Amino acid sequence: MTLDVQFMPGPEFAAAADRDDPFAGFRDRFHIPQIPAGGDAVYFTGNSLGLQPRTAREYINAELDDWARLGVEGHLHAHHPWLPYHEFVTGSLARLVGAKPIEVVAMNSLTVNLHLLMVSFYRPTPERCKIVIEKGAFPSDQYAVESQIKVWSSAFRRLSGEVGPAKAGTPNDGTPSLIELTPRDGEATLRTEDILELIEREGESIALILLGGVNYYTGQAFDMAAITEVGHSKGCVVGFDLAHAAGNLELKLHDWDVDFAAWCSYKYLNSGPGGIAGIFVHERHARSFDLPRFAGWWGHDKATRFLMGPEFVPLAGAEGWQLSNPPIFQLAALRASLEIFDEATMPRLRAKSERLTCYLEYLLGQIATDRIEVITPADPQQRGCQLSIRVRDADKQIFDAITARGVFADWREPDVIRVAPVPLYNSFSDVFRFSEVIGEALR
């Protein structure tokens, strides 16, 4: 633990920490699920579905009202006109991920966006055709990447006369394939040195490195700056899936020189179930109009979009990857949430988050048992707010017992309970209560 904080075991510490917490008031801006007996649940699943900002309903209702009042005219005359509506969240998204406004846009959902970005940024050749992901990546990412590889493999086979096999002496057989980063024997998470060493060793054959910013299962945060730097030095394209990083970590995508990124907004970003996702494309690529891409009218130059011409003229920057006109109700909910992030700001949120998670780790350490083990890295730099608790013998009864006591956590097969104290709306007292409940379940 590197934080300069002295934690104490009793409930008084939690109460005092909550009194001193500059974010304590933010909790009231969210609807906290209630337990049947009355009172707030301990909601530690903001990494799965963030809570509803109290303003979300009002913002969605405003759009319903404008639709009722104006019909199609709402595109131009709604209080927040629908035509440029996605632009209302661009500034906030840029601040959130450390980007310039031209580098981000809200659109679609996460897996869709991963595919759209791979169409542009996974361009294998027989010499350089592999993709690197983490073993145990989120299944949707695994499926997306494998299906992209299949599309290319079959194209290579069909075109084999023209493309030709890999040149003799190149480090692969010219077939697009996957490299999965795997922890060392007996270890649960990856070592940065091992990730960088693999890229150094195999980089010439790697077309794309696509890792999670934070792994959904272990809670491990990767060193995105170092991975990007080494990847680029070997000529690889580097992208990140920030589903578990956006709204959780301080990100500096522009400065880190990341090529592209995508994230969903219903986890830490509290935009509601199925909420509209976001992408980042580095400014370097903003005018790379020769990049292959799947096109749709919303990615077309705004000045001439409604001339409805036959030729696609892409917008510069991330907006040029849009396909369809966006879902306004989802954008309204996202606006409600991002306003709160703008007020809180990520550096301050992150400071509380580190303290909250270290406190959770400390209290778990006070429980005298060998039946649980935290597999998330102990170094705050290598994690976000989530801790993943491995349960010995995959004893799911412990999870069932804490659930019955009003704790929202989740069970991930085969043997992990994930808990995410979220700095915007979770308190030190939540963490204390959780430690009591799991302590009892273990006794």
Ligand X SMILES: *Cc1c(COP(=O)(O)O)cnc(C)c1O
Q: Are strands 278-281 and 104-106 parallel, antiparallel or unpaired?
A: antiparallel
Q: In the chain, count of helices (H) and strands (E)? A: 14, 13
| Residue 138 lies near ligand X (rule: CB under 6 A) | yes
Span of 80-88, 135-143, 173-181, 331-339 interacting with ligand X by CB under 6 A: 135-143
Distance (Å, whole) CA 190 – CA 227: 13
| Residue 319 lies near ligand X (rule: CB under 6 A) | no
* Cis upstream peptide for 126 (omega within 30°): no
CB of 398 to ligand X, least distance (A): 24
Tokens linked to 273: 């179930």
Residues 369-398 that bind ligand X (CB under 6 A): none
CB 235 within 8 A of CB 85: no
| Residue 152 lies near ligand X (rule: CB under 6 A) | no
Q: Indicate which single residue of 24, 32, 80, 109 sits in contact with ligand X (rule: CB under 6 A).
A: 109
Closest CA to 125 of 170, 181, 62, 88: 170
Decide: helix, strand or coil at residue 275.
coil
Span of 90-98, 103-111, 281-289, 336-344 interacting with ligand X by CB under 6 A: 103-111
* Cα atoms found within 13 Å of the Cα of residue 320, Cβ hemisphere only: 22
Tokens linked to 44: 């530690």
Spatial CB neighbours of 338, under 8 Å, sequence gap ≥ 6: 89, 92, 93, 96, 269
Distance (Å, whole) CA 401 – CA 399: 5
Q: Indicate which single residue of 17, 89, 110, 190 sits in contact with ligand X (rule: CB under 6 A).
A: 110
Binding mask 215-234 for ligand X (x = CB under 6 A): -x------------------
| Residue 103 lies near ligand X (rule: CB under 6 A) | no
CB nearer ligand X, residue 94 or residue 133: 133
Closest CA to 195 of 165, 228, 146, 162: 228
| Residue 45 lies near ligand X (rule: CB under 6 A) | no
Name the β-bridge partners of 221. Answer: 214
CB 421 within 8 A of CB 430: yes
CB 218 within 8 A of CB 140: no
Residues 320-339 that bind ligand X (CB under 6 A): none
Q: Indicate which single residue of 46, 126, 136, 212 sits in contact with ligand X (rule: CB under 6 A).
A: 212
Q: How many Cβ atoms from other residues are within 10 Å of residue 443's Cβ?
A: 9
CB nearer ligand X, residue 111 or residue 427: 111
Q: Indicate which single residue of 66, 141, 259, 415 sits in contact with ligand X (rule: CB under 6 A).
A: 141
CB of 234 to ligand X, least distance (A): 24
Span of 7-15, 50-58, 134-142, 358-366 interacting with ligand X by CB under 6 A: 134-142
CB nearer ligand X, residue 212 or residue 320: 212
CB nearer ligand X, residue 82 or residue 138: 138
- 291 phi and psi angles, rounded to 5 deg: -60, 135
CB nearer ligand X, residue 244 or residue 293: 244
CB of 353 to ligand X, least distance (A): 18
| Residue 403 lies near ligand X (rule: CB under 6 A) | no
User: In the 8-state DSSP scheme, what is residue 34?
Assistant: B
CB nearer ligand X, residue 115 or residue 335: 115
Span of 37-45, 82-90, 133-141, 218-226 interacting with ligand X by CB under 6 A: 133-141
| Residue 340 lies near ligand X (rule: CB under 6 A) | no
Span of 49-57, 220-228, 239-247, 290-298 interacting with ligand X by CB under 6 A: 239-247
CB nearer ligand X, residue 14 or residue 385: 385
Q: Indicate which single residue of 89, 129, 264, 407 sits in contact with ligand X (rule: CB under 6 A).
A: 264
| Residue 240 lies near ligand X (rule: CB under 6 A) | no
| Residue 244 lies near ligand X (rule: CB under 6 A) | yes
How many residues sit close enough to ligand X to count as binding (CB under 6 A)?
Answer: 12
Distance (Å, whole) CA 234 – CA 209: 11
Length of the chain: 443
Sign of CA dihedral 88, 93, 99, 102: negative
Distance (Å, whole) CA 427 – CA 110: 29
| Residue 117 lies near ligand X (rule: CB under 6 A) | no
> Residues interacting with ligand X, by CB under 6 A?
109-111, 138, 140-141, 212, 216, 241, 243-244, 264
